Amino acid sequence: MTDLPDVPDAIVPNDNPDLQAVLAAWHTATLRLEQTHQALREEVRHLTDELEVKNRELARKNRLADLGQMAAHVAHEVRNNLVPITLYLSLLQRRLSEDPDALNVVDKISVAFTELDATVNDLLHFTSDRDPRWQMFSLRKLVVEVQQSLAPQFLAQAIEMNIDVPEGTFVTADKDMLGRAVLNLMLNALDAMPDGGSLYVTSCSGRGGFELEIADTGPGLSEDTKARAFEPFFATKLGRTGLGLAIVYRIAEVHGGDCTAVNCPEGGAAFTLRIPQATALEAAA
C-alpha cells in the first residue's frame, strides 16, 4: 500500500479544530490500515511456506506408500525362495563335512544368504502396516535386554555401554516395535564406532510422554546425513540396506511420536526417540 502524503500544516487552518481532528483520525486510520496490510502479507507468506512444506511431505508419503507396497511384495517373494535354498545349503554342508575347501565355499555362500535374509527382514519391518499392540512395560528392562543381545558385538568392538534409565520408568507402547527401534539405534551407534568408544542410553519422562536418547562417541553426522538420516535406503556405508533408521522413524510415527538426530557438543551423534504417552494411554484404553 502506498503511503499517503502528510498534509502540510500550512493548509490546515489552525482555527478549525474539527477539521484537524478529522485529519488526525484519517491519518491514524491510514497507518493502522497499512500495518494490518503488512501483517496480512506476512501471514499469507507464512501460510504459503507451510502449505509448500505440507505438500512436499504429502508427496513424500505417497511415494513411500507406493514403495512400501512394492518392497513388501518383493520381500515376500525373496523370502519364499530363501527357505528351500537355505535347506539345500544345510544338506550340502553335511555332505561336504570332510572336504574343508568345498565346505569353506559353502560357508561363504551361507553367510551371503544370511545377510540377504537380514535385508528381507528389514524390508518386511519397514513395510509392516500393523497398528501398535499397546502394553505397559519397564523401559530399562527393555534396553538391558537389547544390550545383552548385542553383548558380543560390544565386546568385540571394545565399546563401553552406559545406561541411565531409572528402574521405575514404565511406558505404554508396542514392546516388540520399541525393542526393534532401540536395536536399530544401537546397531547404528556400533557402526559409527568400529574402533571402540562409548554408547550412552538416557531417558526422561514428563506428562506428555517420554524420550529415549542413544548417543555415541563416533565422528558425528555430516549436514547431508543429518538431513537424510531417516530416508529409506539412504546409507553411508556399503553393504547396508539404509532401512534401519527409516524403520525407527516409522515405529515412532505409528506411536504418534518422532525421532531426531543431532551432533553432540562434545562429539558423536545422538538420536532421540519421542513417544507421547497421552496418545498411548488413549489408544490402549
Q: What is the pLDDT of residues 30-62, one digit of tens each?
A: 888 888 888 888 888 888 888 888 888 888 777
Share of residues in the chain with pLDDT > 70 (%): 89
Q: What is the mean pLDDT of residues 220-234?
A: 89
Are residues 10 and 58 both part of a single domain?
yes
Q: Is the pLDDT of residue 4 over 80?
A: no
Exposure string for 188-213, b = 16+ CB within 10 A, e = fewer: bbbbbbeeebebbbbbebeeebbbbb
Q: Which of 102, 129, 156 is the last residue of a domain?
A: 129
CATH number for position 187: 3.30.565.10
Of 24-38, 70-84, 144-158, 220-234, the least confident: 70-84
What's the pLDDT band for 214 if we cut at 50, 70, 90? very high
Mean of all residue pLDDT scores within the chain:
84
**Strand pairing class (159-164; 170-174):** unpaired
- What confidence tier does 181 reach under pLDDT thresholds 50, 70, 90? very high
Split at pLDDT 50, 70, 90, the class of 148 is very high
| 24 and 138 housed in the same domain | no
Domain total in the chain: 2
Q: What is the mean pLDDT of residues 137-145?
A: 95
Residue with cell 553411508: 236
Instruction: Please check whether residues 87 and 182 belong to one and the same domain.
Output: no
Q: What is the pLDDT of residue 166?
A: 92
pLDDT digits (tens, 9 = 90+) for 102-136: 888 888 888 777 777 777 777 777 767 778 899 99
Instruction: Name the residue range of residue 38's domain.
Output: 1-129
Give pLDDT, residue 89. 84
For residues 196 and 158, membership in a common domain is answered with yes
Confidence (pLDDT) at 14: 58
d(CA 60, CA 22) in angstroms, rounded, equals 57
150 and 274 belong to one structural domain: yes
Task: State whether 217 and 112 are in the same domain.
Answer: no
**27 and 143 share one domain:** no
Kindly state whether residues 152 and 117 are assigned to the same domain: no
Q: What is the predicted pLDDT for the residue at 239?
A: 61
Considering just the CA atoms, what is the radius of gyration of the chain in Å? 30
pLDDT confidence tier of residue 2, bands split at 50, 70 and 90: very low
141 plus 278 within the same structural domain: yes
Find residue 162's DSSP bridge partners.
200
129, 155, 172 - which closes a domain: 129
Instruction: State whether 117 and 169 are in the same domain.
Output: no
Question: Do residues 183 and 224 both lie within one domain?
Answer: yes
Question: Same domain for 154 and 96?
Answer: no
Q: Given the DSSP bridges, would you call strands 197-205 and 159-164 parallel, antiparallel or unpaired?
A: parallel
Amino acid 1: pLDDT: 47
Quote the pLDDT of residue 64. 67
Which domain-ending residue is among 129, 151, 176? 129
Q: Is the pTM of this model over 0.85?
A: no
User: Does position 6 have pLDDT exceeding 80, yes or no?
Assistant: no
Q: Of 79-83, 185-189, 242-246, 273-277, give the lowest mean pLDDT range.
A: 79-83
